[in-house]
Amino acid sequence: PDHEPVEEVRPKTPVKPMTATEVKVNVSIPEAAERAAATGADGVGLLRMEHMVLTLGKTPERYIEDEGAEAYQDQLVDGIQGVAEEFYPRPVRVRTLDAPTDEFRSMEGGEDEPDEHNPMLGWRGIRRSLDKPEVFQHELAAFRKLYEMGYDNVELMLPLVNDAEDVIRAKKLMQEAGIDTEKRNWGVMIETPASALMVEEMAEQGIDFASFGTNDLTQYTLAVDRNNEHVADRFDELHPAVLELISETIETCREHDVDTSICGQAGSKPEMVDFLVEEGISSISANIDAVRDVQHEVKRVEQQLILDSVR
């Protein structure tokens, strides 16, 4: 033949260890989807909407005013669709918008943002979404469009919830937007101590999963600003208080058939992986560059647990 054998030019499928705990990947920008999918990860544990929105150069309110709601929805659909397509049928967990007000300040429309002393304790995540359903509904419409297009691997994740009240209100808006909350996979992030302590009440509202956002969970549990270099050495995701909240949450979720996962940075750290696998977490989502190591670490711990159990 005048060409190379086809097998030799095809990229090799990564050899990935079989594990009971799923290993997923975090995708911060849609452009990274192909590289993320090539890791052989079991899905996307976190796709943030922030990048899709912040690159528009306008606040959502201003963009909708200038370009129209349809255009805003299409921007979100485009951003999510590329990742959902790349991973199909592996699940892609998409988080609704969670940008603090100070990140909008420099944009068109930013002058209308409230001037907050403490944006990380302020008007962001589900708080803003619940207060501005006229904007949030367009995010939800993007999810509905993707479901109508057949991307049933898309999952919806709510950021910065504190309790069942947040979940009840968000669920109502999801349903009003035409999302079938019985049929679709949706859940919450566990990022505040309150959400960890209230997870049973949230489970009763029908969430399918709870995902640890350890960047924020650590910051709020220890009262250590995650972006403050003066206290950076006190930012400890493996602090016993953080681990206790995680452990209790996993146990409660197991009793209620709610999947647990982690999508904070700590999911890429071997010590945290060891702890989570021993606690029986359902999935771990790691950074693209860490997926391989996490896959092997999960395998190692799972095998050790089996050996320990027969000893």
Asked if 288 and 35 touch (Cβ cutoff 8 Å), the reply is yes
Question: Should residue 216 be labelled a site residue for Mg ion when binding is judged by CB under 5 A?
Answer: yes
Give 95 or 144: the residue with its C-beta nearer to Mg ion. Answer: 95
Which are the contacts of 134, defined by CB distance < 8 A and separation ≥ 6?
none
Q: Which one of ligand PEP, Mg ion, none interacts with residue 214, CB within 5 to 8 A by kind?
A: ligand PEP
Using CB under 5 A as the binding rule, the residues of this chain from 150 to 209 that contact Mg ion are: 191
Distance, in Å, from the CA atom of 236 to the CA atom of 219, rounded to the nearest integer, reads: 9
Give 139 or 191: the residue with its C-beta nearer to Mg ion. Answer: 191
Which of 195, 206, 188, 204 lies closest to 249 in space, CA to CA?
A: 195
Q: Which one of Mg ion, ligand PEP, none interacts with residue 86, CB within 5 to 8 A by kind?
A: none
User: Over 50-117, what HEC string results?
Assistant: HHHHHCCCECHHHHHHHHCHHHHHHHHHHHHHHHHHHHCCCCEEEECCCCCHHHCCCCECHHHCCCCC
| The pair of three-digit structure tokens given for residue 250, joined into one six-digit string | 């996993």
Q: Which one of Mg ion, ligand PEP, none interacts with residue 263, CB within 5 to 8 A by kind?
A: ligand PEP
Stretch that binds Mg ion, among 70-78, 174-182, 210-218, 301-309 (CB under 5 A): 210-218
Q: How far is the CB of 33 from Mg ion (least distance, A)?
A: 21
Q: How far is the CB of 85 from ligand PEP (least distance, A)?
A: 23
Question: Should residue 22 be labelled a site residue for Mg ion when binding is judged by CB under 5 A?
Answer: no
Give 48 or 128: the residue with its C-beta nearer to ligand PEP. Answer: 48
| The pair of three-digit structure tokens given for residue 120, joined into one six-digit string | 């990380």
What sign does the dihedral 158-161-167-168 (CA atoms) show? negative
Give 213 or 267: the residue with its C-beta nearer to Mg ion. Answer: 213
Q: How far is the CB of 162 from ligand PEP (least distance, A)?
A: 14
Chain residues in the site for ligand PEP (CB under 6 A): 46, 48, 98, 191, 213-216, 263-264
Q: Which one of ligand PEP, Mg ion, none interacts with residue 205, CB within 5 to 8 A by kind?
A: none
Distance, in Å, from the CA atom of 291 to the CA atom of 301, rounded to the nearest integer, reads: 15
Number of residues near Mg ion (by CB under 5 A) = 3
Widest CA span in the chain: 70
Asked if 96 and 142 touch (Cβ cutoff 8 Å), the reply is no
Give 51 or 132: the residue with its C-beta nearer to ligand PEP. Answer: 51
Give 98 or 259: the residue with its C-beta nearer to Mg ion. Answer: 98
Stretch that binds Mg ion, among 21-29, 41-49, 211-219, 223-231 (CB under 5 A): 211-219
98 Cα distance to chain centroid: 11
Q: Which residues bind Mg ion (CB under 5 A)?
A: 191, 213, 216
